Structure formats: structure tokens, C-alpha cells
Structure 1
């Protein structure tokens, strides 16, 4: 084969790959709203599948790919995961978030760390550690990079905490337990309102979602947003309109709740044990859900973008 023929073959291969990729993106955008479909093979992850987060380039990251302590990556438009990074031996990740600088933060419930992986790297470094952690679970991130970490104590329904973690001048995290006028339960899912003034927290033991007004390290004016009579609640995320998307573990549904507490809709899923969710896609209107049952990821299209995709790329939404 001549050099010209090899070049022509490479160009043809590239064009085919681009066509497949963009066709996949286009088809996703054309999917009916609030209809979920499985996007990765069953069994790729352990039963600890959790912590989905999407970076500014549209890649999806999920913890516990094939083994505990790993992080898997689903490239934008792909239908199969690959290994992205490994946490140090003994650490097990849960929630993942990205800041505007492309840094990945990972909550490590086993070793009481929040790890950071710098943009373009795969090696985790300790961002914040505290022996006062119960078992850091999920993370929310503000526009200025402040992290909020749910810290449940599953053995004690009244032992939950929320941490506020800020970046110091040395690049390391500085954390403190937030005070509250209400005794917290088993804190789990966590996210902010679009204006960053309100923190939403789900509690596994009570099956409730609570809202708190933020004032530095204080959780003020606790308000019950909504409770459920059955099925445990897990991860949650907000959209640009302030609606709360809540994983209802064992119900096999994502509940969409208005900021006023109204149940606007429930999205049936392919798996019956959704653990967490995140927004992504080119327009921020795709919801990715991690499924403990079957250990796969599914996704559905929605009518409004999530808060975080708009936060990551100013002007996107």
C-alpha cells in the first residue's frame, strides 16, 4: 500500500468514526424526554457503583469500575466504560465532582479523604482528610469551588454531618463541620440551588429531602421539602430551574421535585436500584443514572439543563 493509499484509508476511517460519533450525539438529542435507556453493559461495575460526574468535555466518570477503589470513564458518545484511575489501596470512592478548572474531587468513605485529580492527570492526591469524618459520601460544588460533603453515620440515624471544604492558599482543602439548628439524620444526596444560596440534603433514614439556607459554615432555616412513605432516597441533583432530581433506591425511579416540594413527575428506570445521578450531554440535558441492580449506567433526556453543566462552562446554557 502506497503512502497516499494509507493516508486516504486513515482519512476515511477518521470520517467514519466522526460520523458514528456525531450520529450518536444527534440521536441522543432526538430521544423522547424522560424515557430512560441503558447505555453501558451490565456488570461493568461493582455493587458500589456511585458518584457519577461529567467533565466539561462530556466524559462521564463513575466509581468502582470492575473493582472497588477504581474510577471508570465513559467517553462522550461511548457505550462502554474504561479504567480511568485507581485510588490508593484501601480507599473506596463514592461522590465525584468537577470544578471550573477541570479538577476532579472524589469522596473516599473508607479512608476519610477527599481526593483531587488535577486536569489532564490520573493520579489522586489528598485534598482534605479528617479523622472526624464518619464516611464521606456525596459532594456538591459551588461556583467558587467550595465543596459540601454529606457525611452519614449509618449505624446512628442522628449522627449525620455536612462538611464545608474550601481551598487554601497552598491548594489544600480546609474543612469544617457545618452547624445546624436541626439535628441531622443519615445525610446522603446533596446539591445546591442554582443561585447557590440553598443546600438540599436527602436523608436515608427518614426518606426526606431538606433545604437549608447557607450562611458561611451555618445551615439555617431548615425546611422539609418533601418526604416519601416508602423506598429509601439516595443521590440528588438540581436543574437550572431549581427542580430536584432524586434517586429513589428500590423504587426504580427518579423523582423530579419542585423547589416548593411538589412532585412533578417520576421517571421509571430500567434498573430497580438507582444510587445516584448527574447531568451531562452537549446541552446539559442528559441525566445519567448509576444502577446497583445490574451494575450499569442508564440515561434519559430532560427539558432543562442541570445546574452543574451550566456552572462548568459559562455561556453554555
Structure 2
């Protein structure tokens, strides 16, 4: 791994051809041992000090941590009884938010703590899946119903006495909402729909999703986790195909990054310069990573 890092840095410093740089920058390799996580491996999210957090470490209902430079994960926390995590996000003040699809919650861990408590709960959740967070701390949660091929998006605000949330209004009937992230300016919300294989863009108008726009429809496979980079490019995992697709905001396919196994579930940006992409891989239960040329949002 260290050799790969050095080669990658050399490519950037000494100006290799774009083809050679692409070979090093977008080449994915397994980062942690196989079997560290269950087939429900998800998350992932990086905190301000570079630690990577991923759910379902060895068993359901846990959160694992991979420290910077480490080659193996470790148990970070066990969630409340019956809770199983999916997406994770960090706020600017270091709070960790976890989508708890089993108990219809969004959980929170205060900065420096390992005990999770309920931040927001609703019996109207289908199964909160993935999270995006705005600069002001507002959370957006994808909420799919795989059984019905449908979904919705929740907007959850932080209040002085807790939180409040509601399903966002939208003019179109959504499919199975899954991956979710904001544009760099915070004005657009991108959502992947698993079964329709579509990525959609919405303008945010308070509690409404407006100006729905189809960004990209893929011909095959499914879609899962989604993240944006600082330029607004969209990175989306494609389970069964075993790739991460990179799109421009208007839907042009920039590249597809081949992964080490077939079922990536989610991804996040991290590393000292924000240019490392970590991918959770259900086939084998491990984390893999690759380097990119621009940092995440």
C-alpha cells in the first residue's frame, strides 16, 4: 500500500501522462482483511482526524473503526439492542449520525463518545438507509421501501431541544431511494434509485424537492451509495457490476472504476487531502480504496 501511495504521489508531482496517472489514481485495492465485516457492511464515513467508520464489524449492530495507517479495523461501538446501522455522517462539531433501519431511527453519538442515542425516530420511516448533511447540520435521509419499489426523502432539522423531521414534498413518485448527497453549493440533492438504476437531482426549497431532473439511467445492474466531489462530480456504487461510476452533474459518464469484487455498497472520501475514496465491499466483507485527483465535497 505504501508503495502505491508513493507511486501515486510521483504521478502527480512529476506529471506523468494522463493515461498513466489514471492507472495509478483510479486503481482500487483491498485495504482491510476479508471477513472483518458482515455482508451488511455499510457506512462509511471519515471524521475530522481521519478515522474511517463502517457499520457491522464482525456482527450486526456494531460500528468498526479503521485508524489512519492501520491495516485492520477495530470495534468502536455497539449500538442499542435491536438497532442495525447503515449510512453514517459527521457534523462539523464532530457528532456521528447513524441511520438505524431496523428500529426506524437516526441515532447520534456525541463527539468523543461511543454510546448512541436516538436523535430522531418516526414510525413512518420505511427503513432509513443513507444520510447527507448540510453545512447547517440539516440531515437528509433516504428511506426506501424495497418491497414496493418506492421511496422518499426525509428532512431532519437540529433544534435546541432535540430534532424534528418530515418527509419532503416532491412532484414525482420516487423509486427505491438509496444513495444521497448534496452538491458543493448545498443547493441540489442527488439521489440514486436502486431498482430503476437512475440518479436524480432535486433543487432544495425548504421542505420541498423541486425541479426534478434525471441525471443518468444505467442500462443494467443496481445502484447504491452516492457521494459528490468538490467539483460536483457524482460517484455512485454499482452492485453486481462491481464498479464505481463517476458522472458529471449533467449525467456524462466520466469513467467506471473497476473494484476488487462485485458488490460495493457505499463509499466516502477521506485521507489527508480528501482524495482517497473508501468503498465498502459486501463480497468478502472488507474495505477497499483508490485515489482520485480531486477531493470530496
Q: Normalising TM by the smaller chain, what interval?
A: over 0.9
Cα deviations across residues 151-207 of structure 1 (Å, max 9, x unaligned)?
00011113x11000010111x221110000111110000000000000000001200
Deviation string 1:117-163 (CA, Å, 9 cap, x unpaired) is 011110001100000100000000111111000000011113x1100
State which of 136, 160, 168 in structure 2 corresponds to 1:169. Answer: 160
Which residue of 137, 141, 155 maps to 1:149?
Answer: 141
Give CA-to-partner distance per residue, 1:48-67, whole Å, 9 cap, x none.
00010000100000000000
Q: What are the within-5 Å matches in structure 2 for residues 139-218 of structure 1?
A: 139-158=131-150, 160-170=151-161, 172-218=162-208
Counterpart in the other structure of 2:286? 296
Number of residue pairs the alignment of both structures matches = 284
Partner deviation per Cα, 1:191-225 (whole Å, 9 max, x = no partner): 00000000000001200000000000100000000
- RMSD between aligned residues: 1.5
Cross-structure match for 1:280: 270
Determine whether 1:231 maps to 2:221: yes
Is the Cα contact below 8 Å between 2:238 and 2:263 reproduced in 1?
yes
Pairwise CA distance, 1:79: 1.1
Tell me if 1:245 matches 2:235.
yes
Question: Residue 78 of structure 2 is aligned with which of 76, 83, 86?
Answer: 86
State the distance in 1 between where 2:295 and 2:121 align. Answer: 33
Higher Cα Rg: structure 1 or 2? 1
The 1-side partners of 2:40 and 2:115 are apart by 21
Shift of 1:27: 3.8
Matched residues in 1 for 2:84 and 2:219: separation? 31
Q: List gaps (5 residues or longer) in structure 1.
A: 1-20, 308-317
How far off its partner does 1:77 sit? Answer: 1.3
Which residue of the partner structure matches residue 255 of structure 1?
245
Unaligned runs of 5+ residues in structure 2 are 12-23
Query: For 1:224, what is the secondary structure of its paired residue?
Result: strand
Q: Secondary structure at the match of 2:190?
A: strand
Mapped to 1, the partners of 2:8 and 2:165 lie a distance apart of 40
User: TM-score, normalising length from structure 1?
Assistant: 0.87
Alignment counterpart, residue 120 of structure 1, candidates 98, 108, 112: 112
Aligned to 2:124: 132
Structure 1 distance, partners of 2:254, 2:203, is 23
Tell me the SS of whatever aligns to 2:174: coil
The structure 2 residue matched to 1:59, chosen from 47, 51, 68, is 51
Q: 1: CA distance between counterparts of 2:7 and 2:98?
A: 28
What is the rounded CA distance, in whole Å, between the counterparts of 1:273 and 1:28 in structure 2?
27
- Do 2:8 and 2:25's aligned partners in 1 also have CA atoms closer than 8 Å? no
Match of 1:40 in 2: 32
Q: Render the CA deviation track for 1:92-124: whole Å, top value 9, x for unaligned.
A: 000000000000000000000101001111000
